[in-house]
Structure 1
Amino acid sequence: MSLKFDFSGRVALVTGSSSGIGAATAVLFAKSGAKVVVTGRNGDKVAEVAKQCADVSPTGVSAVLQVLADVTSEQDLQRLVTETVNTFGRLDVLVNNAGGYVMSAVYDDKFMDAFKSVLNTNLNSMVYLTHICVKHLEKTKGNIVNVSSIAAKLTVLNGSPYCMSKAAIDMFGKCIAVELGPKGIRVNTVNPGVIRTNVLEAQGLPKEVATQVYDMFGGKYPVGRAGEGLDIARNILYLASDESSFITGTSLVSDGGHVAANVSMNADD
């Protein structure tokens, strides 16, 4: 018997929800009865995911809010939260999912630009959004789920900014779980392995090459495949649900056995 989530009456804000893990999470929240905020920088993609959410939501279009926002802009994040609360009157779940990846070796001339870009996107935005959402989550005794990566635990060649940002996310989650527990807010983290998203194509790889990379990793995983966005979405909804009410400050590794099998993070190894 599969577990069915019930988020009726609750509001979920999912950053980076115009594609990949975020999109799958937003759709699953909507299917489970939640009112969902879909946000990203690409208006067409946001609208597409919002339609998917409305199509599966028990209450349709009225349960979906679209907000164009850049997570590296504090002004955009403040507007995102304001529109969420003004529209739905509350916030129950914050999913900090938005992220970016720029490869650069520490000796490259453009390393510091890459470092600042990745930290601003992956970490600083998450910290600020969490900061301004606490007062709303305290009212609902809500919770936060941060999306990290197994790169928090493993090295990636020329990927130190990304790995550092994800390691910091893991520790941030643990620290604020302790701080926010007395306010009735739970905080947990998910560490995905290799998931089939558009991240490699965004780095300039042709779709067929990206598919080969995912297939290569999947072939090394004990489960025999790379992950899908829905795999991580299910993890996120579990951690955000009442079924996990005794879980806070944890990092859930959802990697198909990547770490256990000592699979290198470098595709050419």
Structure 2
Amino acid sequence: MSIKYDFTGKVALITGSSSGIGAGIAELFAKSGANVVVTGRNADRVAKVAKQCTDLSPKQLTALEVVGDVNREVDCNCLIDTTVQTYGKIDILVNNVGIDHFADPNSADYYQLFLSVMQTNLNSVVYLTHKCVPYLAKTRGNVINISSNASKVTINGYSPHCMSKAAVDMFTKCMAAELGPKHHIRVNSVNTDRLSSKQYWPGQPEDIAQTVAFLASDTAAGFLTGSIVVADGGHLAANVSL
């Protein structure tokens, strides 16, 4: 049974929310009364999830649609500016967007694949968090980074992905330590697994969304910051291959 959260009056910005885990997070925030910002690179997908969020909203609040690529600073700036212009604030930032590529260290394109993965999985998280600090400080808001069990184990062929997620987890801890005392901003990370796995507990986007909502709730998790929360259906504990 899902726990019900109340985010009435809160503004939640979720990157990569036009599908998958990001869409599940956006929908749960909408269902919980928040003003939701849906963003991604595909306008049709963004519009579809935004409509679902609006339909799920108890007060039929219209979800904000912003099409853009988090790999572009100009798009990130537009995303933040549009959110603030529309709602006047940001309470919750969920850095969800992420990619992985098979990358053989002996392949000619290994370094380019490394740069691509790091740009999406790490650099965009750092940049968006940095740019949102002034707004999150005003609301005493919080940041949730969607990471991976790949931050803790090696996966042959996916070293850039593993490195990027390990860096995201350390970034989470660093920001919690720096932004908490100075700005009363909480920062946490959720480590998950590929949700398509059929072993142990096969997960759904809503499972991760529930963990994110818990961390975003000042009532439920107001004393949690700098935490790396594993939500993977037991795969890491059972040493199941990612």
> Would you call these one fold, judging by a TM-score over 0.5?
yes
Matched, 1:262 2:231: no
Q: Which residue of 1 aligns with 2:206?
A: 230
Matched, 1:137 2:113: no
Contact 2:80–2:132 (CA under 8 A) maintained in structure 1 = yes
3-state secondary structure, aligned to 1:60: coil
3-state secondary structure, aligned to 1:231: helix
What is the Cα deviation at residue 254 of structure 1?
Answer: 0.7
Letter in 1 for 2:133: V
Distance in 2 (CA, whole Å) between partners of 1:69 and 1:188 is 25
What is the Cα deviation at residue 143 of structure 1?
Answer: 0.3
Contiguous gaps of at least 5 residues in structure 2: none
Distance in 1 (CA, whole Å) between partners of 2:15 and 2:188 is 16
Q: Which residue of 1 aligns with 2:25?
A: 25
Distance 1:121 1:149, change over 3 A: same
3-state secondary structure, aligned to 1:49: helix
Q: Which runs of 4+ in 1 moved over 3 A?
A: none
Distance in 1 (CA, whole Å) between partners of 2:11 and 2:119 is 26
1:3-62, Cα deviation, whole Å (9 max, x unpaired): 210000000000000001000000000000000000000001000000100001022243
Q: Which residue of 2 aligns with 1:6?
A: 6
Count of matched residue positions in the alignment of Structure 1 and Structure 2: 240
Q: Structure 2 length as normaliser, TM-score? A: 0.97
What is the Cα deviation at residue 83 of structure 1?
Answer: 0.1
Contact 2:35–2:61 (CA under 8 A) maintained in structure 1 = no
1:197-252, Cα deviation, whole Å (9 max, x unpaired): xxxxxxxxxxxxxxxxx3xxx22x2xxx3211100000000000021001000000
What is the Cα deviation at residue 140 of structure 1?
Answer: 0.2
3-state secondary structure, aligned to 2:98: coil
1:53-90, Cα deviation, whole Å (9 max, x unpaired): 0001022243x100001010000000000000000011
**Percent of pairs with identical residues:** 55
Q: Which residue of 1 aligns with 2:87?
A: 88
Contiguous gaps of at least 5 residues in structure 1: 197-213
Distance 1:103 1:2, change over 3 A: closer
Distance in 1 (CA, whole Å) between partners of 2:50 and 2:112 is 33
What is the Cα deviation at residue 193 of structure 1?
Answer: 1.5
Matched, 1:252 2:229: yes
Contact 2:13–2:90 (CA under 8 A) maintained in structure 1 = yes
Distance in 2 (CA, whole Å) between partners of 1:98 and 1:263 is 24
Residue pairs, 1:93-172, within 5 angstroms = 93-172=92-171
What is the Cα deviation at residue 194 of structure 1?
Answer: 2.0
Residue pairs, 1:207-226, within 5 angstroms = 214=197, 218-219=198-199, 221=200, 225-226=201-202
Q: Which residue of 2 aligns with 1:201?
A: none
Residue pairs, 1:49-68, within 5 angstroms = 49-62=49-62, 64-68=63-67
3-state secondary structure, aligned to 1:67: strand
Q: Which residue of 1 aligns with 2:68?
A: 69
Distance in 2 (CA, whole Å) between partners of 1:184 and 1:37 is 23
The Cα RMSD (Å) is 1.0
Distance 1:2 1:103, change over 3 A: closer
3-state secondary structure, aligned to 2:154: coil
Letter in 2 for 1:60: Q
What is the Cα deviation at residue 2 of structure 1?
Answer: 4.7
Letter in 2 for 1:177: A
Contact 2:2–2:210 (CA under 8 A) maintained in structure 1 = no
